[in-house]
Amino acid sequence: MDTEVTAAGDDFAHGRRVGAILGDARTAAGLELIDIARDTRVPVRHLAAIEADAHDSLPALPYAIGFVKAFARAVGVDPEAAGAQFRAETSKVAHVPAPPPMSPLDERRLPPRGLVTVSIVAVLAVIAAVVAWSAGAFDGASRPTSAPVVAAAPPVVSPAETAAASPATPPAADSTAIAGTPAAEVPTSPAVTPAVAPVAMSPAAPGSGHIVITASDDAWFRISAYDATARKVVTVKTGVLAKGEHYEVTPVPGQRLWTGRAGALQISVDGRALPSLGGPVETVKNVSLDAADLRARLAAPATPR
């Protein structure tokens, strides 16, 4: 089951405005503009302008198309179809920078060739003089000749003098003294255990199918299910689950989980934690939240990642 595409594709085929399609999808999902703005980071004023087809209030065309796709993705509408519909409706055009005016050069403003040649020769002469001065070409006659340095031979020291000069080596610590010390006399450092605040979760009776989603870090998630009456996929719950918060899944059959941070969400069924759904920033879709499917995940052997 694909949770991204809904029945809005028929509305695009019948020529409905993209603002009306997204507005109806938002109403059907039970969302407010402030909810979508919190999930997509798109300002509320731009979301309202998209619904009202007030394209003049939107930013440049590339940004506006990105806002439309984010809006569509949040309400379960095909983002590519919504972006193409918006591009066909809007009068906004992509900004094309105009080339700078090219005027012919006025030869009367150019310096004479002789002056250019003299300037180049002068610059080269200065560079050559600096290089020669750095190499010491100008101070070779006045530099004094240094006398060769003769290394002094090390003094001869007899073995007796060496033994007298060297300090006495302290005797090695007797390891048996520590080994023979009673355990009560050996000082030990107390073990420090870091305090970890447990996440509050309501208890669940074994086999009751109590499902809880807990966030170890801030993560956006969406739970959807197929509505047989409306004959389409509807949103049951969507939003951002903050670090340390948990959400108790309502017992609705056929629910699916979609999140962009699989490793930040921990699912438990009947009080037993499931293995991680994926990496910290891995996107997973269509994860079944039925109690039977989650228990099957517990029984399945762990697959090395």
pLDDT at 290: 87
pLDDT at 13: 63
In 3D space, the residue among 95, 74, 71 whose CA is nearest the CA of residue 83 turns out to be: 71
pLDDT at 199: 38
Give domain 8-89's CATH architecture: Orthogonal Bundle (1.10)
Phi, psi of 183 (to 5 degrees): -60, -30
In 3D space, the residue among 178, 199, 185, 216 whose CA is nearest the CA of residue 271 turns out to be: 199
Alpha carbon distance 17, 50 (integer Å): 10
Q: What is the pLDDT of residues 190-244, one digit of tens each?
A: 444 444 344 344 444 444 578 999 999 999 999 999 888 988 898 989 999 999 9
Q: What is the pLDDT of residues 137-165, one digit of tens each?
A: 766 555 555 555 445 555 555 555 555 55
Q: Where are the domains of the chain?
A: 8-89, 211-299
**64-82 burial by CB neighbour count: b if 16+ within 10 A, else e?**
bbebbbbbbbbbbbbbebb
| pLDDT band, very low/low/confident/very high, at 186 (cuts 50, 70, 90) | very low
pLDDT at 139: 65
Q: What is the mean pLDDT of the chain?
A: 77
Verdict on whether the full-model pTM lies above 0.75: no
Q: What is the pLDDT of residues 165-179, one digit of tens each?
A: 555 444 444 444 444
Amino acid residing at 10 = D
Sign of CA dihedral 38, 44, 50, 52: positive
Q: What is the pLDDT of residues 245-285, one digit of tens each?
A: 999 998 888 899 999 888 889 899 888 898 888 888 899 98
**Percent of the chain, pLDDT > 70?**
67
Is residue 59 over pLDDT 60?
yes
Is residue 188 over pLDDT 60?
no
